[in-house]
Amino acid sequence: MVMPWRRILHLRPADTVTILFLVFLLMLTGIYFHTLPRGSFLLALYSLLTVIQVLLARYRGYGNMLSIAHDLIFPVICVWLIFDSLEWVVHYVNPHDIDPLLIEIDFLIFGNHPTIVLERIVHPILTDFFQIAYTTYYFIPIGLGILLLTHRKKEAFDRSLFLILFCFYLSYLGYILFPAIGPRFTIDHLQTIGLQGFMIAEPIREILNRLEGIKRDAFPSGHTAVAMMVLYCAYRFERRYFWICLPMVTALIFSTVYCRYHYVVDVIAGVALFLVCVVIGEWYFNFWLRVTKRNRNARASAPD
């Protein structure tokens, strides 16, 4: 009889981490069901995503469309739906925002509020530029995935997908444990200069506000952690893409503070999250790879 943990090792690590995080959200929703405003919807959503993930993992080899759905389409949709659902989870599970602590830490480090210090360089051109840089976060992971699949680097793709998803899910866990809404809400009354762009910043900001809402998703900075993970994977497997992304990610990380989405301590925590995900994620993926290859070799050498 195959033990449950051994069954997990048969799954691709990206599938495993998604299923485990969805199960965690299902358990969390069940525990706080009467506290959550949309508990029934959340149970249905997480259950549906879990079933789809299991089915895609089981039947991924049955045609190109299922493979594409399994590798690209579903991970993107799943990450977005989970993130969107946190609006109905975080504040109701943990109503104690830690913004005052984050503000105090930033002030202790810099002797002032970083977003106020940055008012010295605020300019419409820079605001447009950094608002665009901030949005590249939503596209650079997809670009890396498409390149790896196009170049038929399947193992590199599986590793990168797992590491990036692991980074996403741990950042979401951070939002639940350490809810914070960020300086654009908490210290807006202290800002003396608004972030006005020429033509681009306001429409992008409005779209992001509608898509993201108020998720209490400041700590740690997922933008920092995920963008650095994309850089890490690109450096290993798509060096040209790394050099293209490097200036974008640098601007993206700076934009998180310039555009007042994050405290500096959020960015520091994002870097720490990235490092944790690399260490743990690489260890698990290599362990899974060894077990998978050993099982494959055992089946190949077994007598008929």
pLDDT tens figures, 240-271: 999 999 999 999 999 999 999 999 999 999 99
The model's pLDDT over 102-159, given as tens digits with 9 standing for 90+, comes to 999 999 999 999 999 999 999 999 999 999 999 999 999 999 999 999 999 999 999 9
- Residue 264's nearest CA partner among 274, 254, 250 is 254
How far apart CA 138 and CA 119 sit, in angstroms, is 26
The model's pLDDT over 13-42, given as tens digits with 9 standing for 90+, comes to 999 999 999 999 999 999 999 999 999 999
Percent of the chain at pLDDT > 70 equals 93
Residue 1: the pLDDT is: 34
- For residue 236, pLDDT beyond 70: yes
- The domain segmentation of the chain, as residue ranges, is 1-93, 96-290
Q: Hey, what amino acid is at 192? A: T
- For residue 48, pLDDT beyond 60: yes
- CB neighbourhood size of 223 (10 A): 26
Mean pLDDT value across the chain = 91
- For residue 59, pLDDT beyond 90: no
Percent of the chain at pLDDT > 90 equals 79
State the burial class of residue 45 (Cβ atoms within 10 Å of its Cβ: 0-12, 13-18, 19+): buried
pLDDT band of 302, cuts 50, 70, 90: low
- Residue 217's nearest CA partner among 84, 57, 43, 62 is 84
State the burial class of residue 252 (Cβ atoms within 10 Å of its Cβ: 0-12, 13-18, 19+): buried
- For residue 61, pLDDT beyond 70: no
How far apart CA 301 and CA 268 sit, in angstroms, is 49
Q: DSSP letter for 60, please.
A: T
**Contacts (Cβ under 8 Å, ≥6 apart) of 265:** 102, 105, 106, 109, 219
Residue 304: the pLDDT is: 56
pLDDT band of 206, cuts 50, 70, 90: confident
Cβ atoms 86, 215 nearer than 8 A:
yes
How far apart CA 279 and CA 212 sit, in angstroms, is 29
- As given in the structure block, the two tokens for residue 116 are 């106020």
Residue 202: the pLDDT is: 82
- For residue 8, pLDDT beyond 50: yes
**CA-based torsion, 236, 240, 243, 244: positive or negative:** negative
Average pLDDT over every residue of 281-287? 96
How far apart CA 8 and CA 92 sit, in angstroms, is 31
Helix axes 154-177, 222-237, angle to 10 degrees: 170
Q: How many CA atoms lie within 13 A of 246 on its CB side?
A: 8
**Contacts (Cβ under 8 Å, ≥6 apart) of 119:** 191, 192, 193
Cβ atoms 226, 171 nearer than 8 A:
yes
State the burial class of residue 235 (Cβ atoms within 10 Å of its Cβ: 0-12, 13-18, 19+): middle
- As given in the structure block, the two tokens for residue 136 are 């590249």
- For residue 84, pLDDT beyond 60: yes
How far apart CA 180 and CA 165 sit, in angstroms, is 22
Residue 2: the pLDDT is: 40
